[in-house]
């Protein structure tokens, strides 16, 4: 917390400068039009709820050259990239990003094994270069009323560039002569009624020399973190028909986000040994009939996870004098076929949107091979990651309706709801009511209540990690109430949001067994989010701050005659404070310099006693302490027009060379070592536009 006084001073300075400005020329600082909040185009400040829009150009000026980077989303208010969680959700409680609705160019993208805390599978990594990113739109908070399941803590839409062209290359150097490189391009071809936009890129990074240390030998050594990616995205439109074909492959060295500390570290090398691949294919037609905009689309999404890992299986070979190797091979495939139709029209002061959705999700392959070659341990052969005897499939059908009512020139009321059903007997109703009032040209008030839901993923429902794999888990639902205030002038802004989220039947993992459970008592997160900007002629300043307080109910689990219970507490690995400070100097010249300071507050682990069936404290599990606060500073220099149509950017990420650490799920002693995930990087980028 020692850096907070500096942070608060920066926030107060920016606020005092902001409030000193006269409230005029309001339209000059309006944010980009977005459709993420309502699926209808509105200014981001006028939409219901809390929406953030950040450009790819801005991300690169902060030192983010690819969305697969470990801190790619840190700049977004309330986002903790190291645990892929929003709004104080923590790690396993936020399930490492699977309680966020992810989209690329409005196409949903997901995986049933996202968030699984074992084996390092299902990592959420999108190797999309920021050179090709137009902007990222994000709803902070629930979005199930129009997007369905998984939209509990947020909705993120990554939008790539169309209508312009460029080629780029990025080079980087980490510690110990490790390097990274990337090359790619984007462009648009148009002829008559045909328009084709493409993005192509290849990247590879050797990672950093990051040493993991812990109480047991299984946690000591150099953590492998090499990564890479291949990207091919094509969007085509002919008259009123759109087509898309994407292949997004992220490669890693089995430690990009997760690692199973019950085994020794995988071997460290610079060659990624695991890949996560998303393939998206689809078509959409749009028709305007009598002032009604009709849209119909159909698509196929396919996800594969493949790994071939050599490691030291400490849990099996700890007494083997030869310390022979183990091998883990993963071969997982799932697919989703879906169709959706929407209708949008305006009747007087009502803007109506309705839609229907149907999708079939199936697990097509889920093989895991784990073998050990030494001692008396037999090769167990191929097992299944999921229990295929259940033939994991799920049909989802949904109907949604939304009405944006213009009450007067300054007030809008949005009412909507979505009803989802699933073939395994689950259903969910997700209502929303929101009010937006423009008090005057500079002051905007918002209020919203919304409900979101998430059914258990197939990996949660059927994974052999569970001690009772036949348990039927309930869908989790979250009710959120939020109030927002926005103050804007021609060159300044202040945005504040307070919210309360209460989640019922939260799906998470037990802190000791890592078995999937529904929490019997509700959980809550209360938060305050503040954003500030102030623009001068040659200097742009900005800051944001998120303060969260979480409360997890009792955790109760009876297994093998033991009550593995924890008392109510804060969420484990949930940062109470997240903050960013930005400054761009010479912003109106061809050589702007940007500084970005990021701060993540300390995170508690499980700090409650584990009790046996008689209520006696198991001493070894009495406390886990906390993960210290983390911070870093990035500096980026840009030179526009270093040659004709050629721009150069270069900089230092993590200027002071700190080894940033976290823990991706709150392991109990003796497995409480902090996992390093990022070091220092020097980089440069060349972009040629045409």
Strands of 161-258 (E only): list them.
166-173, 179-191, 194-205, 211-212, 221-222, 227-238, 241-252
Q: What is the pLDDT of residue 17?
A: 37
Q: Is the pLDDT of residue 322 over 80?
A: no
Helix (H) or strand (E) holding 347: strand 326-347
- 537-575 confidence digits (pLDDT tens): 899 999 999 999 999 888 877 777 677 777 788 888 889
Instruction: State the residue for tokens 């400005």.
Output: 21
- By percentage, how much of the chain surpasses pLDDT 90? 59
What pLDDT was estimated at residue 82?
87
Percent pLDDT > 70 in the chain is: 81
**What is the pLDDT at residue 23?**
32
**Contact predicate 553/504, CB 8 Å:** no
Compare 49 and 642 and report the one with higher pLDDT.
642
With a cut of 50, say whether residue 13 has pLDDT above it: no
Q: Beta-carbon neighbour count of residue 40 at 10 Å?
A: 18
What's the CA gap between 234 and 197, in Å, rounded? Answer: 6
- So what's the pLDDT on residue 676? 85
Separation in Å, CA 635 to CA 205, 541, 684:
20, 14, 12
pLDDT at 205 over 70: yes
Q: How far is residue 530's CA from residue 18's CA, in Å, rounded to a whole number?
A: 13
HEC letters along 500-560: EEEEECCEEECCCCCCEEECCCCEEEEEEEEEEEEECCCEEEEEEEEEEEEEECCECCEEC
The predicted structure's pLDDT at residue 313: 58
Query: Residue 189: exposed, middle, or buried by beta-carbon count in 10 A (0-12, 13-18, 19+)?
Result: exposed
Query: DSSP readout, 290-332?
Result: TTEEEEEEEEEEEEEEEEEEEE--HHHHTT-TT---EEEEEEE
What is the number of other CB atoms lying within 10 angstroms of the CB of residue 162? 18
Burial of 166 per CB tally in 10 Å (0-12, 13-18, 19+) = middle
Domain count along the chain: 1
Spatial CB neighbours of 580, under 8 Å, sequence gap ≥ 6: 74, 75, 77, 542, 543, 544, 596, 597, 598, 599
C-alpha dihedral (314, 125, 595, 593), degrees to nearest 10? 130
Task: Write down the pLDDT at residue 661.
Answer: 86
Given a contact cutoff of 8 angstroms between Cβ atoms, the answer to whether 121 and 256 are in contact is no
Query: Which is higher by pLDDT, 127 or 622?
Result: 127
From residue 176, give the alpha-carbon distance in Å to each of 207, 210, 212, 572, 680: 10, 10, 16, 34, 11
CATH number at residue 161: 2.40.170.20
Instruction: Indicate the helix (H) or strand (E) that contains 7.
Output: helix 4-19
C-beta separation of 377 from 337 below 8 A:
no
SS3 454: strand
Nearest to 388 by CA among 459, 438, 319, 492: 459
At 269 the pLDDT is 76
2 pLDDT band, cuts 50/70/90, is very low
Q: What is the DSSP letter of 590?
A: S
Mean of the pLDDT values across residues 341-345? 96
Q: What is the dihedral of CA 604, 608, 609, 614, to 10 degrees?
A: -150
What is the Cα–Cα distance from 447 to 132, expressed in whole angstroms?
Answer: 35
Of 309, 256, 305, nearest to 276 by C-alpha is: 305
Domain membership of residue 102 as a residue range: 4-689
Instruction: With a cut of 50, say whether residue 293 has pLDDT above it.
Output: yes
Question: How confident is the model at residue 664, as a pLDDT?
Answer: 64
**Residue 72 predicted with pLDDT over 90:** yes
Mean pLDDT, rounded, for 253-263: 64
Among 601, 597, 617, smallest CA distance to 609 is for: 617
**Mean pLDDT of the region 88-102:** 86
DSSP string covering 458-481, please? HHHHH-TTSSSTTPPPPPEEEEEE
Q: Which of 80-84, 295-299, 464-468, 608-612 has the lowest mean pLDDT?
A: 608-612
6-13 contacts: CB < 8 A, separation 24 or more? Answer: 7/543, 7/545, 7/579, 7/581, 7/597, 7/599, 10/543, 10/581, 11/530, 11/532, 11/543, 11/545, 11/581
* Sign of the torsion angle spanned by Cα atoms 374, 378, 381, 386: negative
Cα–Cα distance, 392 to 386 (Å, whole number):
8
Looking at residue 677, its pLDDT comes to 87
Return d(Cα 545, Cα 558) in angstroms, integer.
Answer: 40
> How far apart are alpha carbons 171 and 183 in whole angstroms?
9
Specify the 3-state DSSP secondary structure of 261.
Answer: coil
- Asked if residue 329 lies in contact with residue 384, where contact means CB atoms within 8 angstroms, the answer is no
First to last CA, the chain: 47
Q: Model confidence over 103-154: pLDDT tens digits?
A: 999 999 999 988 776 666 778 899 999 999 999 999 999 999 999 999 999 9
Q: Does the structure show a pLDDT above 70 at 642?
A: yes
Residue pair 258/245 in contact (Cβ under 8 Å)? The answer is no
pLDDT(374) > 90: no
Q: Can you give the pLDDT at residue 358?
A: 98
Rounded CA-CA distance 547/552 in Å is 17
pLDDT digits (tens, 9 = 90+) for 506-539: 998 887 777 888 998 999 999 999 999 999 989 9
Give the pLDDT band (50/70/90) at residue 47.
confident
pLDDT of residue 376: 43
Half-sphere exposure of 514 (CA within 13 A, CB side): 20
More confident: 218 or 296: 296
Which has the minimum average pLDDT: 134-143, 266-275, 278-287? 266-275
Average pLDDT rounded to a whole number, residues 629-634? 96
Q: What is the pLDDT of residue 605?
A: 75
1 pLDDT higher than 60:
no
φ, ψ (nearest 5 deg) of residue 639: -125, 105
Please, which residues bridge with residue 305 across strands? 276, 332
pLDDT at 170: 98
């Amino acid at each position: 917390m020692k850096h907070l006084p500096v942070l608060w001073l920066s926030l107060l300075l920016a606020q005092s400068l902001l409030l000193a400005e006269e409230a005029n020329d309001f339209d000059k600082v309006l944010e980009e039009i977005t459709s993420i909040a309502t699926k209808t185009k509105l200014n981001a400040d006028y939409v219901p709820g809390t929406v953030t829009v950040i450009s790819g150009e801005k991300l690169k000026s902060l030192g983010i050259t690819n969305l697969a980077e470990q801190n790619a989303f840190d700049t977004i208010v309330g986002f903790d990239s190291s645990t892929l969680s929003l709004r104080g959700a923590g790690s396993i409680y936020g399930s490492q990003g699977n309680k966020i609705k992810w989209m690329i160019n409005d196409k949903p993208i997901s995986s049933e094994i996202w968030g699984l805390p074992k084996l390092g599978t299902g990592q959420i990594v999108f190797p999309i270069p920021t050179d090709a990113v137009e902007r990222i739109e994000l709803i902070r908070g629930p979005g199930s009323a129009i997007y369905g399941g998984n939209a509990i803590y947020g909705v993120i839409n990554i939008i790539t560039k169309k209508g312009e062209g460029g080629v780029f290359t990025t080079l980087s150097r980490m510690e110990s002569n490790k390097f990274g490189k990337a090359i790619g391009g984007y462009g648009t071809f148009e002829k008559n009624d045909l328009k084709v936009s493409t993005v192509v890129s290849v990247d590879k990074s050797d990672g950093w020399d990051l040493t993991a240390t812990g109480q047991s030998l299984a946690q000591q050594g150099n953590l492998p973190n090499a990564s890479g990616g291949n990207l091919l995205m094509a969007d085509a439109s002919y008259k009123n028909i759109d087509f898309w074909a994407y292949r997004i492959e992220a490669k890693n060295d089995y430690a990009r986000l997760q690692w199973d500390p019950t085994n020794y570290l995988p071997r460290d090398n610079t060659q990624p040994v695991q890949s996560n691949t998303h393939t998206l294919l689809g078509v959409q037609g749009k028709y305007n009939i009598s002032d009604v905009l009709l849209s119909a689309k159909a698509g196929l999404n396919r996800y594969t996870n493949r790994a071939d890992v050599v490691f030291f299986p400490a849990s099996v070979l700890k007494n083997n004098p030869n310390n022979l190797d183990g091998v883990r091979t993963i071969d997982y495939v799932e697919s989703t076929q879906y169709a959706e139709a929407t209708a949008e029209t305006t009747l007087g002061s009502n803007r109506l949107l309705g839609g229907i959705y149907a999708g079939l999700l199936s697990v097509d392959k889920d093989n895991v091979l784990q073998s050990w070659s030494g001692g008396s341990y037999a090769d167990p052969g191929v097992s299944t990651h999921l229990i295929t005897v259940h033939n994991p499939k799920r049909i989802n059908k949904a109907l949604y309706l939304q009405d944006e009512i213009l009450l007067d020139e300054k007030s809008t009321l949005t009412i909507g709801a979505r009803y989802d059903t699933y073939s395994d007997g689950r259903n969910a109703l997700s209502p929303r009511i929101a009010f937006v009032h423009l008090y005057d040209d500079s002051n905007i008030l918002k209020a919203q209540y919304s409900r979101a839901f998430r059914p258990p993923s197939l990996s949660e429902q059927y994974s052999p990690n569970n001690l009772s794999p036949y348990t039927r888990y309930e869908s989790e639902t979250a009710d959120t109430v939020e109030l927002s205030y926005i103050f804007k002038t021609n060159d300044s802004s202040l945005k504040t949001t307070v919210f309360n989220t209460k989640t019922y039947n939260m799906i998470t993992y037990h802190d000791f067994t890592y078995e999937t459970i529904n929490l019997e008592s509700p959980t809550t997160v209360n938060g305050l989010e503040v954003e500030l900007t102030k623009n001068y002629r040659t200097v742009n300043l900005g800051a944001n701050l998120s303060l969260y307080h979480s409360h997890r109910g009792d955790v109760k689990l009876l297994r093998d005659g033991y009550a593995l219970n924890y008392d109510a507490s804060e969420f484990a690995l949930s940062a109470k404070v997240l903050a960013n400070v930005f400054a761009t100097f010479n912003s109106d010249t061809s050589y702007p310099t940007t500084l970005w300071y990021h701060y993540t507050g300390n995170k508690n682990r499980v700090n409650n006693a584990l009790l046996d069936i008689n209520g006696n404290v198991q001493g070894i599990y009495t406390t886990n302490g906390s993960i210290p606060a983390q911070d870093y500073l990035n500096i980026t220099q840009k030179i526009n027009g270093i040659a004709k149509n050629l721009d150069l950017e270069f900089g230092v990420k993590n200027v002071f060379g700190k080894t940033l650490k976290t823990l991706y799920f709150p392991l109990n002693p003796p497995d409480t070592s902090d996992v390093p995930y990022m070091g220092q990087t020097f980089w440069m980028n060349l972009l040629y536009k045409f």
